Amino acid sequence: MALISEKKIFPTPGVFEKISGENQGKFLINRAIQFVYEGDDDEADSGIFIDAGRGMFYPTDPELVTETEGTIEFAAFDGTYRIRRFTEEDSALMTDYGITLTPQMMEEMMAIDEEVGLDQAVEALSDDSGNVSAIVFSVAGLGVFFRKEGKWVPATPEMSEEYDGAEITDIDVEKAKELVARWDAGDKFTTADLTEYAVEE
């Protein structure tokens, strides 16, 4: 068996999806590596290794692997597969909170998850008057993001100082999506209003 090349054809976190054949679906990966062999019958050992925590190897002919604008597609024994970068539509693969994340956030969260595991939370911050003044999404090792104008904005030192001392309410994983949607729509909340969204103690 002669190994011709070993190449990280997709070196960053992304999405691996089956797009034809039975049991189509998608999941998160850390990277993908292509192995190419040559020699008598050695071509059958060529394929793509998918690093997704639990490694998976897909035998495929190098000629059946194509790359277009950073997206990899290849045919294997039971269907066609695609490896691609994140889009906002992949948020549900990364968080159970039902909120929309940016591709950059997801890529950074994958890197953290591979190293130390992922600890995330959605919280509401209230001022001294009992009015909710901010909705935040926090990821240990990555930082805090404030919800502003329909987007998650990384916290600045000024933001952190402004909300220092605010009352924090942990939001239930099943109810964060609704709360964030209402916040984006301009709804106002008090601490009392958060009862229906808060994590039960």
Q: pLDDT at position 200, please?
A: 84
User: Based on C-alpha coordinates, what's the Rg of the chain?
Assistant: 22
d(Cα 163, Cα 151) in Å, to the nearest integer? 18
pLDDT the model gives residue 134: 96
The pLDDT score that the predictor gives to residue 114 is 80
How is 140-197 classified by DSSP, letter by letter? Answer: TTTEEEEEETTEEEEPPHHHHHHTTT-EEEEBPTTTHHHHHHHHHTT---BTGGGGGT
Does the predicted TM-score (pTM) go above 0.85? no
Round to whole Å and give the CA distance between 165 and 81.
Answer: 49
Residue 134 pairs in a beta bridge with 125
pLDDT at residue 39, as a whole number: 67
How many whole angstroms separate alpha carbon 14 and alpha carbon 11? 9
Q: Give the per-residue pLDDT at 71.
A: 96
Residues pairing with 15 in the sheet: 28, 84
Mean pLDDT by 10 residues, the chain (201 residues): 80 95 93 85 78 88 91 93 96 91 93 83 95 94 92 92 93 95 95 93 73
pLDDT of residue 130: 94
